[in-house]
A and B are shown apart, each in its own frame.
Chain A
Amino acid sequence: MRLPPTITERIAKTILMLATVAAVSALLFVIIFIMVGGFRHLSWDFLTQPILDMGREGGILPAIVGTLMIVFVSVGIGAPLGIASAIYLAEYTREGKVAQSIRFGINCLAGVPSIIFGLFGYILFVVLLGFGWSIVSGGLSLAAMILPTIIRTTEEALRSVPREYRDVAASLGASSWQVVVRAVLPYALPGILTGVILGIGRSIEETAVVIFTAGSAIQMPQSIFDSARTMAVHFYILAREGVSNENAYATAAVLICTILIINISAYTLMHRLMKGRRA
């Protein structure tokens, strides 16, 4: 039997819409499940107290500080390197063999699973270079992991800068570096920031890399050569070892809130940049 095209059209559209609704509901389900479970146990004390009794009591302050320090190292190394890579790809080279092989490396790196970055960071930074389980080791491993994200987003932002900006600057006698710094980068800044923010987000979410390279010390880290746990690692330990479901929920709620803020601001920035381009 053949249905009339108008009916098939309606059926197909409904099925596709239901699939999309299902996917978005999964997202909402995850967020609501964690928020509802977590907000009951969330308090100011929880954010500002040390971790006591392996996480059964107290708060998560050391984990928050640990997260901030690890993110600082990872983005501090990853962002300049990634932005420089993207500037090279977008402004300094034509699409030739060299650019292609660089891009191939970036794409492959983007596909490497986090557990492999964990093994790599462990053997290179923790063991060979002797940093031990520390914030430096964790940050450096994460920097390697977030590099492709930062490069891709930055390159996209640079490519969205209209040609005229470069032409005008160059015609006024600017060198190619001056063109980049004075004409291209200011315009692409929101997009570059988006890349950096997404890099921060990926560093905060990550567990496998951090647990192998930064360890999971409970104490407040004093320097970047100390071991520390991030919120994600703390949550993992609480949840997996069944230490405390209440505190696990509360930690997850803090984690999800942070991720939401980060992703929404990244998206808003990029959206603004792209809108500006079209206008």
Chain B
Amino acid sequence: MDKIISKILFLAACSSTAILALIALFIFKEGVPIMAKYGLGHFLLGREWAPLSGQFGIFTFIVGSLCITFGALVLGVPLGVACAVYIAEFAPKKWALVLKPAIELLAGIPSVVYGFLGVMWLAPFIRNHFGGPGLSILAASCVLAIMTLPTIVGVSIDALNAVPKNYKQGSLALGATQWQSTRHVILPAARSGILAGVILGMGRAVGETMAVIMISGNTTKIPNSALDSVRTLTANIAIEMGYAVGEHRQALFATGVVLFFFIMILNIVALKVSKKKF
């Protein structure tokens, strides 16, 4: 009896890996043929996306995804790491108990709500004060910076808390201030964990869809400045999936293949980085 139960539990535990494999299988099966037919180089580096005339180049979307992700990291990483350091090292215990779940709650807000806020408030603000269409790289980066905060802060706090207590005690005993200990002892020790948090946050930003559709403007052109509109890989899939058929639909799955690869690489790097111990 116990043996059977153990087998059943083992099978359940394998389900995540099985689902991952199934996802890869189905997306690749739909997407890879068109990539092969159109040519991988053409597909990745082509600038022309005109599904009706059989042009499937996703270079502009790759650029769009990278721009927005980069912007989100520039804004989100300093903020996120600073929050994590404050909550883990400086905040009074009672506050930390409220602050951490409050920031985690940011992850609970539906991405469509962020997108809506971006459209109603942020985009007009940018349009009036900086110019451009408003729905832009800048707007999307700001919103994504907030959306990636919970990931960056959560993972960084765990990394900071994992630093052995005696590191800090030793440093304080030598007469260093709280900040000196944090800056020269704890942060270097927690570096790899914080880096893992940043990479996972990057994965979140690359994969985000609904908020990005609403606030990035979705033009299929290479942007010249942070105030231009762009379309990301995720947005391209989500916008056209509703009506795509035949090769067009396959090309969207191929876009999914590229996205999947990108995310898997980020995940694996993050896992490898966070495994490093002090």
List residues of chain A with CB under 8 Å of any chain B CB. 5-6, 8-9, 12-13, 15-17, 19-20, 22-24, 26-27, 30-31, 33-34, 80-81, 84-85, 87-89, 92-93, 101-102, 104-109, 111-120, 122-124, 144, 147-148, 151, 175-177, 201, 204-208, 211-212, 232, 235-236, 239-240, 248, 252, 255-256, 259-260, 262-263, 267, 271
Contacts and interface: CB of A to CB of B under 8 A. Distances in A.
Contact of B9 (A84, A119, A204, A235): A84
Given A13-B179, A207-B110, A27 B260 contact: no
A116 B83 contact: no
Interface stretch (B37-45, B126-134, B159-167, B264-272): B264-272
23 contacts: A5-B180, A16-B82, A20-B82, A24-B99, A26-B106, A26-B149, A33-B117, A33-B120, A85-B16, A88-B6, A108-B267, A108-B268, A112-B23, A113-B263, A115-B259, A116-B256, A118-B238, A120-B23, A123-B253, A144-B23, A204-B110, A239-B115, A239-B214
A90 B208 CA distance: 32
A109 B149 CA distance: 20
Contacts of A262: 108
B90 A17 contact: yes
Contacts of B109: 27, 30-31, 205, 256, 259
Nearest to A124: B26
A34 to B, nearest CB: 6
Given A20-B87, A113-B259, A236-B210, A123 B101 contact: no
B86 A20 contact: yes
B177 interface: yes
Given A92-B6, A204-B110, A211-B238, 4 more contacts: A19-B79, A89-B13, A120-B23, A208-B238
A178 to B, nearest CB: 9
A30 B10 contact: no
The 10 closest A-B pairs by CB, nearest first: A113-B207, A105-B17, A84-B12, A19-B82, A16-B86, A88-B9, A88-B13, A205-B110, A111-B267, A85-B13
A119 B254 CA distance: 11
Contact of A259 (B110, B206, B213): B110
A138 to B, nearest CB: 15
Given A113-B206, A116-B260, A208-B209, A34 B113 contact: yes
Contacts of A144: 19, 23
Interface string B17-56: 1011011001100100000000000000000000000000
Contacts of A175: 1-2
Most B Cβ at <10 Å: residue of A33, A204, A239, A262: A239
Contacts of B156: none
Given A5-B180, A208-B238, A15 B82 contact: yes
Contacts of B238: 115, 118, 208, 211
SS class, residues of chain A in contact with chain B: helix
Contact of A9 (B14, B178, B253): B178
B8 interface: yes
B153 A23 contact: yes
A109 B19 contact: yes
Contact of B83 (A20, A112, A211): A20
Given A20-B87, A239-B116, A115 B16 contact: no
A248 B116 CA distance: 9
Nearest to B233: A115
Nearest to A12: B179
B71 interface: no
A211 B79 CA distance: 33
A144 B241 CA distance: 21
A217 to B, nearest CB: 14
A31 B102 CA distance: 12
B10 A88 contact: yes
Contact of A116 (B85, B104, B117, B207): B207
B135 to A, nearest CB: 12
A19 B111 contact: no
B112 interface: yes
| Among A24, A104, A108, A201, residue most surrounded by chain B Cβ atoms (within 10 Å) | A108
Select the residue from A106, A113, A262 with max chain B CB neighbours within 10 A.
A113
Contacts of A8: 177, 179-180
Contacts of B183: 12
Contacts of A119: 26-27, 30, 237, 241, 252-253, 256
B16 A239 contact: no
A111 B108 contact: no
Nearest to A231: B110
A260 B102 CA distance: 10
B141 to A, nearest CB: 14
Contacts of A87: 9
B99 A20 contact: yes
